[in-house]
Amino acid sequence: MKKILSVLWRHTADQVKPCLSCSDTGRSFSELLDLLIPAFNEEGIVLDFREEIISGDAGNPENIVLLNEIPIGLFLSHAARGEEYCHASRCRPPEHIHRHYPDASGVRCDEAPEILFRKAILLALDDEVRTHYAALR
C-alpha cells in the first residue's frame, strides 16, 4: 500500500516560499523535501505538494504548511517533546528547539533542527498520530 504525504502550502500571493527552516543545516523545508524524494520513492511514499493562494484579509493564517491536513507546527512540537526529556534542576532542555516567530513582514515562520522536520514528516505519515491531531481540530 502506498502512503501519501500531502503537503499544502497556504499563502498570500506575495510569498515565494514557505517560511520554514532547519536551524542546524540551513536548509529550507522545500530543500529538505527535494532531498528526501529518493527515500520517499524507495519507501513507496508519494509526495503531493500543492499551493493555495489566499487573500491576506481573509482571517486565515498566512504562510501555513499542512502535512496530510494537519499544521506542521503541531508535528514539530510533538517531535520536540522527545528532545526535552531532562527535568532535573541542573539539566535544562535546549532553548527554542522548535521556534515560532514572525519574519520582517509579519509572516509566521517556524524554525527547528532538521531532525525535527524529518520526525514531523514521519509523524504525518503515522495514521494513529494523524487521527489524534485531526480529532483536536
In this predicted model, what pLDDT tens digit does every residue of 19-33 receive, in sequence order? 999 999 999 999 999
8 A C-beta contact, residue 114 and residue 24: yes
Span 94-118, average pLDDT: 83
Which cell numbers in the block locate residue 118? 524529518
What is the domain partition of the chain in residue ranges? Answer: 3-136
Distance CA 99, CA 121 (A): 17
pLDDT range class, residue 84, cuts 50, 70, 90:
low
Distance CA 95, CA 108 (A): 19
Span 73-90, average pLDDT: 72
Letter string b/e over residues 44-53, b meaning 16 or more CB atoms within 10 A of that residue's CB: ebeeeeeeee
Residue 113 phi, psi dihedral angles, 5° rounding: -60, 150
Distance CA 123, CA 130 (A): 7
- Of the candidates 40, 19, 39, 41, which has an alpha carbon nearest to the alpha carbon of residue 30? 19
What's the sign of the alpha-carbon dihedral 83, 3, 69, 51? positive
How does the average pLDDT of the chain come out, rounded? 85
Is 123 buried (19+), middle (13-18) or exposed (0-12) by CB count in 10 A? buried
Which has more confidence, 134 or 128? 128
8 A C-beta contact, residue 19 and residue 108: yes
